[in-house]
Chain A
Amino acid sequence: MKHSMQACTVGWLAVLFFLLNSCIEEETYDNTPQGNFEALWHIIDRQYCFFDYKHAEYGLDWDEVYTRYERYITPDMPVKGLFEVLGNMLAELRDGHVNLYANYDVARYWKWFEDYPANFSDSIQRNYLGTDYKIAGGLKYTILDDNLAYVYYGDFSSGISEGNLSDMLRELALCNGMILDVRSNGGGLLTNASKLASRFTNERMCTGYITHKRGTAHDDFASPEPLYIEPSNSIRWQKPVVLLTNRRSYSATNDFVNTMRQFPLVTVMGDRTGGGSGMPYSSELPCGWSVRFSACPTYGPDMEQLEFGIDPDVRVDMKTDDMARGLDTIIEEARLWLNNH
């Protein structure tokens, strides 16, 4: 009995000693230029989700990026200089979902739309919407002269309810077709995108796949899970749809276009979308700056990458002559398409 009590006591002391020496801490970095550089490089190295894809696409080598940018880091460099170096380092990822936020600026990579024609003008759009257009949640809509519905959704962060959608579709029920415009929609909530898309399909469809990292290695991903779109159990649109896109159709809008392009009555028209198929996460540096980066990738139905955008079925650019006359070439092409199909 005495021996068992002693063994029990020794066992307990061993467990306590183990516990008292088992602090779970994260690796810390100093709030110095070098410390902030190291922290940012490691956050991206462990958590960014497109390393392998971008290495294959344009040779991105994150270790080489470290070597190249570390040379610019000095102990006495000014804060704004550090911000610029770190921002440039992040731009190597060529990702619109990657940002560095300080109180006075946001470092970003916007070449995915800045290097291309805008293919959208809100002042020309006004010639189509007029002033008496209707608003249902985040949607603006009207009926054009040739009995085609024109619906604009400019921000998937603006909410839409099932009631908004049902009432809008009821209003547009007598139209011959629909132009659904998501140009310059930079994304927002995926749930809004799915809610809208569910009004254009009559059957459950696999629209793509989603995965996430399971660990810190560049290739440590969980098995991709299929993404399904379920048809709405309320009013659904049964006529042709032309979906208008441009380079600023990004993030959740890219996901929406990927879903819609698989429906038989939908034609995608305009410019290639901007991409942005990684759900962004947030993190931060010792100096307090916030960093955003792509963390959970989604893919198309054939497991194809959508990070750099989706090509339209019909490529159309805005023409300068049309714009001078107040015409939106892409809307005009869509009208022509719908009137001929």
Chain B
Amino acid sequence: MKSRIVFFVCMWLVGLFARSQGICVDSLQRHQYIVRSTSYGIGSIRLLDTYLSPMGYAGSQLHMVRESTRMLRKGEGRISRQTLFHAYVAGAENGAGTASELAGMLDWNYAWHYNFSLADGKLRLLLGPMLQLHGGFIYNTRNSNNPAQAKLGVDLAASGMAVYRDKLKRLPFTMRYQLDVPLLGVMFSPQYQQSYYEIFSLGHYDGTIVLTSIHNRPVLRHWFTVDMEFRPFTLRLGYMADMQQSEVNDIKYHAYTHSFMIGVVKRLYRL
């Protein structure tokens, strides 16, 4: 663990030194250049799961996103890899304020993007496939034999990104808009009124794994970030709208989250 910390601190110092010497990123070995960020956010949530209640719940959530991107040797250096870990915990109330739900979700995403460079390299468009693993729970504090709903699934998504890099009066900044759309996947869902007692205590699993695509799981995740490079660190401000939805086994679900985030970006150069 210690050696990893020392390694990353060294890489960070090398990155700083490189920038202070005016070395252009592209002059380095691009595939050894890694961008890592961690952002935290707060925002709103609108929650519906008809297995638990036909009423919508609204509340707030705390958000965390960790991202790592790097260029790969593949495709003549035009392919980048992104890994994204995204999690939130939320609390919400029904409209009458008589019941509450707690939710916790996390997803791990792995994407390869093909990079198109435009406007003398200031603008990059990225497009590629993304693998998404997601899981979590919603817990209704008032229900009896249907108190919670588990969420678990894997998706193959299309991911697109536009990245614009420029300077605002000597301040380098990077703007990025990313859109991820799951196209095909499988997810766990109990049947319409199947109890978890039946599934887990009695082992009746039939019909609980469901094929999904945009017709029964129309999901969108937008992400907009601005990175401002104050030396010696880069500040990230962001907004994420994650519109999770599904309608399988006659159970309707949505979790619409809007989050404003703040974080730090680290640029590392692997020797």
- Taking Cβ atoms with an 8 Å cutoff, the residues of A that contact B are 12, 15-16, 18-20, 22-28, 31, 39, 43, 47, 49, 103, 190-191, 210, 212-216, 220, 222, 225, 227, 279-290, 292, 295-296
**B193: nearest chain-A partner, CB-CB:** A213
- B254 adjacent to A23 (CB under 8 Å): yes
- A22 adjacent to B204 (CB under 8 Å): no
Does any Cβ of A come within 8 Å of B202's Cβ?
yes
- A20 adjacent to B220 (CB under 8 Å): yes
Within 8 A of A (CB), among B89-105: 94-99
Nearest Cβ on chain A to B141's Cβ, whole angstroms: 11
- A15 contacts which chain B residues (CB < 8 A)? 181, 214
- B181 adjacent to A288 (CB under 8 Å): no
- A212 contacts which chain B residues (CB < 8 A)? 191-195, 198
Taken together as a complex, chains A and B put the C-alpha atoms of A280 and B144 apart, in Å, by 7
Given known contacts A222-B206, A296-B198, A24 and B245 CB-to-CB distance under 8 angstroms: yes
**B98: nearest chain-A partner, CB-CB:** A288
- A295 adjacent to B145 (CB under 8 Å): yes
Does any Cβ of A come within 8 Å of B253's Cβ?
yes
Taken together as a complex, chains A and B put the C-alpha atoms of A26 and B49 apart, in Å, by 9
- B96 contacts which chain A residues (CB < 8 A)? 31, 286-288
- A222 contacts which chain B residues (CB < 8 A)? 191, 194, 206-207
Nearest Cβ on chain A to B255's Cβ, whole angstroms: 10
- A290 adjacent to B195 (CB under 8 Å): no
**A99: nearest chain-B partner, CB-CB:** B144
Does any Cβ of A come within 8 Å of B249's Cβ?
yes
- B54 adjacent to A288 (CB under 8 Å): no
Taken together as a complex, chains A and B put the C-alpha atoms of A215 and B99 apart, in Å, by 26
- A103 contacts which chain B residues (CB < 8 A)? 98
- B55 contacts which chain A residues (CB < 8 A)? 26, 284-286
Q: List 25 A-B contacts (CB under 8 A).
A: A12-B160, A15-B214, A16-B179, A19-B218, A22-B214, A22-B218, A23-B254, A24-B48, A31-B95, A31-B96, A47-B193, A49-B193, A103-B98, A191-B201, A210-B198, A210-B204, A212-B192, A214-B191, A215-B192, A220-B192, A222-B191, A281-B144, A282-B145, A287-B96, A295-B145
- A282 adjacent to B142 (CB under 8 Å): yes
Taken together as a complex, chains A and B put the C-alpha atoms of A281 and B147 apart, in Å, by 9
Interface of B is mostly: loop
Does any Cβ of A come within 8 Å of B252's Cβ?
yes
Nearest Cβ on chain B to A224's Cβ, whole angstroms: 10
- B263 contacts which chain A residues (CB < 8 A)? none
Interface of A is mostly: mixed
- A214 adjacent to B249 (CB under 8 Å): yes
- Taking Cβ atoms with an 8 Å cutoff, the residues of B that contact A are 48, 50, 53-56, 94-99, 140, 142-147, 158, 160, 179, 181, 191-195, 197-198, 201-202, 204, 206-207, 214, 218-220, 245-247, 249-250, 252-254
Given known contacts A22-B218, A191-B201, A296-B194, A43 and B54 CB-to-CB distance under 8 angstroms: yes
Taken together as a complex, chains A and B put the C-alpha atoms of A286 and B94 apart, in Å, by 9
Q: Which 6 A-B pairs have the closest CB atoms?
A: A288-B96, A288-B98, A22-B218, A282-B143, A213-B193, A24-B245
The one of A24, A47, A214, A288 in contact with B253, judged by C-beta atoms closer than 8 angstroms, is A24
- B193 adjacent to A39 (CB under 8 Å): no
**B190: nearest chain-A partner, CB-CB:** A212
Nearest Cβ on chain A to B97's Cβ, whole angstroms: 7
- A215 adjacent to B250 (CB under 8 Å): yes
Given A16-B179, A31-B95, A212-B192, 11 more pairs with CB closer than 8 A: A19-B220, A23-B245, A26-B54, A27-B54, A210-B202, A225-B204, A227-B202, A282-B144, A284-B55, A288-B95, A292-B144
- A288 contacts which chain B residues (CB < 8 A)? 94-99
The one of B53, B181, B214 in contact with A283, judged by C-beta atoms closer than 8 angstroms, is B53
- B160 contacts which chain A residues (CB < 8 A)? 12
- A287 contacts which chain B residues (CB < 8 A)? 96
Given known contacts A23-B245, A24-B218, A284-B53, A290 and B99 CB-to-CB distance under 8 angstroms: yes
Taken together as a complex, chains A and B put the C-alpha atoms of A215 and B247 apart, in Å, by 12
Nearest Cβ on chain B to A73's Cβ, whole angstroms: 19
